[in-house]
C-alpha cells in the first residue's frame, strides 16, 4: 500500500450511535453487483434501518437500501436485497462468540469508499436503555448551551 489512503463517505448511521453503545468496530468489504457500485458512487445508499446477521459462518446485511442506478434498467437489482459482507474467518468467529453473550448485536455504522472499494464499518453494539438515551440528549443540550454562551461572550 502507498501510505495514502483515500476515503469517501457514502452513508452514515447516526441512529446507531443514539440507540446503541458501540464497543468495537470492524471493517468489512461488501459483495455488490455493477449497477449497485455505480449507484453508490452517486451516494445513493441508506443504512438507517439496516442490521447484520451471521448465518452459516457468513455475514449478511439486511435492510441496506441501494437505490437503482438510473441508466441500469434491466441490470438493476432489488434495492433491499440481502448483501454479503466479506470478513476474515477469525473475525467472524470472534463476533459470533460475542453475539452469543446477552445484549450484543451487529450494526452497520457507515458505508464508504476506501481506495476505490466499497467498505462497511461494522459495530459490535449493546442496546441503550431509555435513561441512557435521555442522559445522552441532556449532555448534548449542555454542550450546545455552553457553546452558545462561549460564542456570545467572545462576540462582546
Element (H, E) at 22: strand 20-30
Q: Which residue's C-alpha cell is 441501494?
A: 66
CA distance 63 to 78: 11
Would you say the C-alpha torsion 107, 112, 114, 117 has a positive or negative sign?
positive
Asked if the structure places residue 50 within a domain, the reply is yes
Asked if the structure places residue 151 within a domain, the reply is no
- Residue pLDDT, tens place only, 3-49: 556 778 888 888 888 788 888 889 999 988 777 888 888 888 888 88
Asked if the structure places residue 148 within a domain, the reply is no
Strands 65-66 and 7-12 come out as: unpaired
Asked if the structure places residue 149 within a domain, the reply is no
pLDDT band at 147 (very low <50, low <70, confident <90, very high): confident
Q: Are 39 and 67 in contact (CB under 8 A)?
A: yes
Q: What are the φ and ψ backbone dihedral angles of 35, each rounded to 5 degrees?
A: -70, -25
- Nearest to 16, CA basis, from 29, 25, 6: 25
Asked if the structure places residue 2 within a domain, the reply is no
Asked if the structure places residue 143 within a domain, the reply is no
Per-residue pLDDT at 1: 47
Asked if the structure places residue 141 within a domain, the reply is no
Radius of gyration of the chain from Cα atoms? 19
- Domain CATH for 69: 2.40.280.10
Terminal C-alpha separation, the chain: 51
CA distance 60 to 63: 10
Asked if the structure places residue 135 within a domain, the reply is no
Domain that holds residue 37: 7-128
Q: Which residues are registered as beta bridge partners of 112?
A: 9, 119
Q: What is the mean pLDDT of residues 99-109?
A: 85
Per-residue pLDDT at 81: 81
Per-residue pLDDT at 33: 78
How many structural domains comprise the chain? Answer: 1
Least confident of 73-82, 84-93, 111-120: 73-82
Q: Are 127 and 105 in contact (CB under 8 A)?
A: yes
- pTM for the complete prediction? 0.72
Per-residue pLDDT at 12: 85
Amino acid at each position: 500500500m502507498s501510505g495514502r489512503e483515500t476515503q469517501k463517505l457514502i452513508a452514515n448511521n447516526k441512529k446507531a450511535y443514539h440507540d446503541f453503545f458501540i464497543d468495537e468496530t470492524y471493517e468489512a468489504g461488501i459483495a455488490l453487483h455493477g449497477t449497485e457500485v455505480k449507484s453508490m458512487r452517486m451516494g445513493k445508499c441508506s443504512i438507517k434501518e439496516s442490521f447484520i446477521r451471521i448465518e452459516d459462518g457468513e455475514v449478511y446485511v439486511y435492510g441496506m437500501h441501494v437505490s437503482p442506478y438510473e441508466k441500469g434498467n434491466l441490470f438493476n437489482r432489488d434495492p433491499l436485497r440481502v448483501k454479503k459482507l466479506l470478513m476474515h474467518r477469525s473475525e467472524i468467529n470472534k463476533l459470533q462468540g460475542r453475539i452469543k453473550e446477552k445484549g450484543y448485536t451487529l450494526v452497520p455504522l457507515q458505508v464508504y469508499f476506501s481506495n476505490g472499494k466499497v467498505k462497511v464499518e461494522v459495530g459490535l453494539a449493546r442496546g441503550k436503555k431509555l435513561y441512557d438515551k435521555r442522559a445522552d440528549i441532556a449532555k448534548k443540550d449542555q454542550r450546545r448551551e455552553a457553546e452558545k454562551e462561549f460564542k456570545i461572550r467572545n462576540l462582546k
